[in-house]
């Protein structure tokens, strides 16, 4: 495959000069959903699927982009001087946003690039194809352009570009999970402090299966920003009575004690999810440390229910995937993953149940929803890397 990408690059942009190949993963979040902009914990991991980038630095200020996932768009050209936020633009907004954000952070890029991308993450599936492109671009700017940044800086600049250039108020989880990924491990990240630790995911006789609903979503046109605003408002209301910096500062008991400060029933539900999900994530990581995968799975199921009933970000497609998964013998846990409103679910499935799972959930899904879901048995991989 790497050869095919290099050939395509040369065909489009010529063979001269130094051509490099990079890769950045996608991510799946095991538990801790919609907690990252509420000062809570998350527990994502990088995948071995992701985005490949073939790139050559230019001597002028031109930018030329091509994606093998959007071939009908052809080569898209612009200049370093023309970078400005336009949330309605095409996929090139992600690399452009990161180049722009580096400039905003005092690392102005003055030489352009030819960049060809190919991603094997399904687009808009909730596995962070966009954050993968952002981190890939940041890593290229570090490695090829010599920008003095750590991988954690790349994550933060990627989030900044997504917020400021693409108009999505996302938290730090996706970019962090991708930039800091470690093979075989999930990242237990406290989004309030950015303190983190790696936890080995040793499932022995089970696999991580991702079920893709094939219902597309874009974060910008979903209710993502609305949920975030509801949580911010609930926090303000709580702060009148209790000295907290974020919803992640409360445990379940404290929340029950102060929740009457929140003056709207929907906002109570949103805040309850944020508080309980954060605690669930802490308990889930403890359970994993104690080798209690069953408990981890149970908490995944509870996470889905809370996202369905309190946060209301699932929808019939993701509910069907999770609820059908729970019926299958050998499923340890299953929940929606990512922003929701479409995208994927993540399940832990015993090895000998994987085929049955795909068949049973696939059949029930198609019968109910009217089109097929896709299934991927995934591996946990490393962060961004230069391949050649």
Question: What amino acid positions are annotated as catalytic residues?
Answer: 174
Is the separation of the CB atoms in 198 and 285 below 8 Å? no
Smallest gap, in angstroms, from Cβ of residue 33 to ligand GLA?
4
Look at the alpha carbons of 351, 354, 355, 356 in this order and tell me if their dihedral is positive or negative.
positive
Question: Is 156 one of the binding residues for ligand GLA (CB under 6 A)?
Answer: no
The conformation of residue 140, written as its DSSP 8-state character, comes to H
Contact region with ligand GLA (CB under 6 A), list: 171-179, 246-254, 290-298, 375-383: 171-179
Burial 33-50 (b: 16+ CB within 10 A, else e): bbbbbbbbbbbbbbbebb
Torsion of Cα atoms, 156 then 79 then 76 then 111, to 10°: -70
Which residue bears the tokens 């991927």? 376
Dist CA 138 CA 115 (whole Å): 13
Question: Is 157 one of the binding residues for ligand GLA (CB under 6 A)?
Answer: no
Question: Is 189 one of the binding residues for ligand GLA (CB under 6 A)?
Answer: no
Contact region with ligand GLA (CB under 6 A), list: 33-41, 85-93, 141-149, 264-272: 33-41
Question: Is 170 one of the binding residues for ligand GLA (CB under 6 A)?
Answer: yes
Is the separation of the CB atoms in 366 and 197 below 8 Å? no
Contact region with ligand GLA (CB under 6 A), list: 32-40, 196-204, 315-323, 367-375: 32-40
Is the separation of the CB atoms in 188 and 197 below 8 Å? yes
Q: How many residues line the site for ligand GLA (CB under 6 A)?
A: 10
Comparing CB distances to ligand GLA, the nearer of 125 and 147 is 125
Comparing CB distances to ligand GLA, the nearer of 171 and 333 is 171
Q: Which of residues 301-360 bind ligand GLA (CB under 6 A)?
A: 338-339
Instruction: Work out which of 5, 22, 34, 97 binds ligand GLA, going by CB under 6 A.
Output: 34
Collapsing DSSP to helix, strand or coil, 323 comes out as helix
Footprint on this chain of ligand GLA (rule: CB under 6 A) = 33-34, 36-37, 170-171, 173-174, 338-339
């Amino acid at each position: 495959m790497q050869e095919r990408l290099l050939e395509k690059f040369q065909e489009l942009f010529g063979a001269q000069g130094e051509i490099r190949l990079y890769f950045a993963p996608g991510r799946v979040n095991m538990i801790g959903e919609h907690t990252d902009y509420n000062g809570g914990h998350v527990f994502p991991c990088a995948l071995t699927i992701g985005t490949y980038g073939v790139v050559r630095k230019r001597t002028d200020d031109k930018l030329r982009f091509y994606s093998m996932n959007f071939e009908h768009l052809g080569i898209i050209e612009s200049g370093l001087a023309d970078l400005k936020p336009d949330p309605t633009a095409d996929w090139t907004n992600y690399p452009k946003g990161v180049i722009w954000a580096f400039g905003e952070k005092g690392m102005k890029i003055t030489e352009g690039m030819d960049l060809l991308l190919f991603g094997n993450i399904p687009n808009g599936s909730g596995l962070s194809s966009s954050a993968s492109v952002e981190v890939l671009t940041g890593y290229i700017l570090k490695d090829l352009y010599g920008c003095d940044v750590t991988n954690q800086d790349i994550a933060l600049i990627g989030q900044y570009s997504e917020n400021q250039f693409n108009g999505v108020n996302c938290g730090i989880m996706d970019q962090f999970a991708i930039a800091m990924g470690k093979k075989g491990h999930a990242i237990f990240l406290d989004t309030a402090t950015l303190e983190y630790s790696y936890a080995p995911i040793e499932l022995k006789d089970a696999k991580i299966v991702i079920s893709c609903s094939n219902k597309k979503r874009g974060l910008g046109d979903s209710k993502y920003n609305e949920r975030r605003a509801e949580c911010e408002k609930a926090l303000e209301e709580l702060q009148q009575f209790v000295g907290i910096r974020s919803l992640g500062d409360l445990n379940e008991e404290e929340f029950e004690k102060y929740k009457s400060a929140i003056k709207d029933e929907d906002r109570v539900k949103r805040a309850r999810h944020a508080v309980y999900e954060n605690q669930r994530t802490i308990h889930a990581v403890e359970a994993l440390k104690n080798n209690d995968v069953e408990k981890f799975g149970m908490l995944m199921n509870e996470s889905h229910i809370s996202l369905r009933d309190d946060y209301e970000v699932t929808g019939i497609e993701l509910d069907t995937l999770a609820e059908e998964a729970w019926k299958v013998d050998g499923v340890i846990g299953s929940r929606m993953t990512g922003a929701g409103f479409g995208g994927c679910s993540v399940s832990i499935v015993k090895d000998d149940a994987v085929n049955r799972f795909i068949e049973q959930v696939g059949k029930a899904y198609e019968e109910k929803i009217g089109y097929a879901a896709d299934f991927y048995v995934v591996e946990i991989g490393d962060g961004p890397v230069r391949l050649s």
